[in-house]
Amino acid sequence: MNAPPLKRIGKYHLVLERTGSMKVNADVFASERIPVERGALDQLADATCLPGVVRVLATPDIHIGYGVPIGAVVAAEDFISPAAVGYDINCGMRLITTPRNAEEVDLRSLARQIHGVVPLGEGRSNVCLSRKGIQRVLERGIAGLLDSLENEMHSFPDAEILRKLDLDEERALLDRVERRGSLPGNPGAVPDRAKERGQPQVGTLGGGNHFIELQKVDRIDDLEVAQAWGIHPGQLVVMIHSGSRGLGHEVGGHYMRAASKYDRQHGIGVPNSNLSIFPLDSRPGKDYLGAMNAAANYAFANRAMMAILVKGVIRRCLGKLDIGTVYDVAHNLAALGRHHQKEWMVHRKGATRAFPAERMSDTPFADWGQPVLVPGSMGTASWLLRGIPEGKITLFSTNHGAGRVLSRKAAGGKRRGKRGRIIQPGAISDRDFESSMAGVHLICKDPRSIKEEAPAAYKDIDAVIDTVIGAKMAAPVARMVPLAVLKG
């Protein structure tokens, strides 16, 4: 539907007021410095028309997605929507700390050696799981991966890093992963094609906006929390951004098609075929939840495997260092949560959980709240924040990044043929791209398409974080800047 006009009700808060077939208002958190696409607002308004919807909101990185905009939170009483999760289930972040300052390290050499153990780009393979191994991962996430690494070493490459792997160290890190890196997955609900694609892809980065960045901590906003989390100024840290790879894409596509068919057959009134739902108590709804959880487990395991490889390279280059993990958090996920004394299915698409301290009991974050990882665009800053009680205004959710202002084609241009001949130039020139990446060492799989991920294709991350802080969605802890970037 065409969204009603946005009404500003606060410096960082706007609203699409309920009208027509809308069942609830839609809240939009953005300052006047942040552009918001009309098409994304139309998609947000569509989400308010779903039967059983109870809350719809947009984080400041909102932009057009498939069915539901990216940077959206949709809460429901009795349905689950594959489109409100997206194709890259549990696309997420992990932040790794080192005891070294960035200026002490040959970052170009370190980045090259990481590239040697983590394949970049789409369709790449790395650690190949056995059939039992993929089953373990889909059922139990990181714990299943570690069991496979312990019991099936013959199935993996004869790599020095894996031979020196300390499984006890990795198991001790599970408290530093959202939901301990394990959801109740149902491998039987995962299509066979998804399993086939996922089996050889553990420990691969993927393409698009996924990255591994070597970063320097350039600012501390909360010294007490930063110290508790092992963060200090000038420090070398590593951020990993990736998801469930081809497996998650297959799961997402399979169930989006199934939901569209289900809604037509059962006469469920949805705004369009791209925004279909399953009743939570239906057989296909339960199957999707189990398959989505399984794909999320795969994504947790994939980031854990990349972290193992990255840490192995760091120790090989710099010696046996004490390397820490701040947190690993999901972006694209739906989960039951208690809000306003009610149990809702909360979909976060291009949005990340940001729980306050009281929701983090029995974890290392019971005193300060959940770490929140918000990456910028390639070449710009990323942020570490923490969940706070005031975050209930967004169902304890924040944005997952800066958010696009240019589509990939608009940014990089349109190409044709195997050699990628440009038939329509992009909005970002080579000179502008090089200027925006000054001082950042870039390693990428496809130099022809890298401008699609240029900083100018994204919103200003610091303006986005200003809204997060101003709206009290989360509180800042530290800011990091990239020094070397590995992209697919």
Residue 446, in any domain of the structure: no
Which alpha helices (H) appear in 31-105, and where do they start and end? 38-47
Radius of gyration of the chain (CA): 21
Looking at residue 204, the DSSP 8-state letter turns out to be: -
Residue 72: predicted pLDDT:
98
Residue type, 361: S
176-192: burial string, b at 16+ Cβ within 10 Å, e else: bbbbbbbbebbbebbee
Q: Is-contact 318 105, C-beta < 8 A?
A: yes
Burial class (CB in 10 A: 0-12, 13-18, 19+), 317: middle
Q: Is-contact 481 218, C-beta < 8 A?
A: yes
Q: What is the pLDDT along the chain (488 residues), one digit of tens a residue?
A: 899 999 999 999 999 999 999 999 999 999 999 999 999 999 999 999 999 999 999 999 999 999 999 999 999 999 999 999 999 999 999 999 999 999 999 999 999 999 999 999 998 999 999 999 999 999 999 999 999 998 876 556 656 788 888 999 999 999 999 999 999 999 999 999 999 999 999 999 999 899 999 999 999 999 999 999 999 999 999 999 999 999 999 999 999 999 999 999 999 989 988 999 999 999 999 999 999 999 999 999 999 999 999 999 999 999 999 999 999 999 999 999 999 899 999 999 999 999 999 999 999 999 999 999 999 988 899 999 999 999 999 999 999 999 999 988 898 887 666 556 667 778 999 899 999 999 999 999 888 789 999 999 999 999 999 999 999 999 999 999 999 999 98
Q: pLDDT, tens digit, for every residue of 236-265? A: 999 999 999 999 999 999 999 999 999 999
Q: Is 66 strand, coil or helix?
A: coil
Q: Which domain holds residue 111?
A: 6-405+458-487
Q: Is-contact 271 1, C-beta < 8 A?
A: yes
Is 400 noted as a catalytic residue in this protein? yes
Taking the C-alpha atoms of residue 28 and residue 452, their distance in angstroms, rounded to an integer, is 26
Residue 429, in any domain of the structure: no
Give the CA distances from residue 253 to residues 81, 263, 461, in Å, rounded to whole numbers and listed in that order: 12, 16, 30
Which residues, other chains included, contact 482 with Cβ-Cβ below 8 Å and sequence gap of 6+?
Answer: 213, 214, 215, 376, 378, 379, 380, 381, 382, 440
pTM: 0.96
Q: pLDDT, tens digit, for every residue of 375-407? A: 998 889 999 999 999 999 999 999 999 999 998
Looking at residue 303, the DSSP 8-state letter turns out to be: H
Residue 447, in any domain of the structure: no
Going by their DSSP bridges, the two strands 92-101 and 79-80 should be labelled as unpaired
180 dihedral zone (left: phi>0; alpha: psi -120 to 50; beta): left
Residue 226: predicted pLDDT:
98
Residue 439, in any domain of the structure: no
Listed in order, strand segments (DSSP E) in 387-474 are 397-399, 413-416, 421-425, 441-444
Q: Name the catalytic one among 241, 249, 331, 400.
A: 400
How many other C-beta atoms can be found within 10 angstroms of the C-beta atom of residue 350? 26
Residue 307: predicted pLDDT:
97
| Backbone φ, ψ for residue 24 (5° rounding) | -145, 165
CATH code assigned at 370:
3.90.1860.10
Residue 418, in any domain of the structure: no
Count of domains in the chain? 1
Residue 426, in any domain of the structure: no
Residue 428, in any domain of the structure: no
Residue 435, in any domain of the structure: no
Taking the C-alpha atoms of residue 353 and residue 370, their distance in angstroms, rounded to an integer, is 8
| DSSP symbols for 88-156 | STT-EEEEEEEEEEGGGS-HHHHHHHHHHHS--BTT---BPP-HHHHHHHHHHTHHHHHHHHHH-GGGS
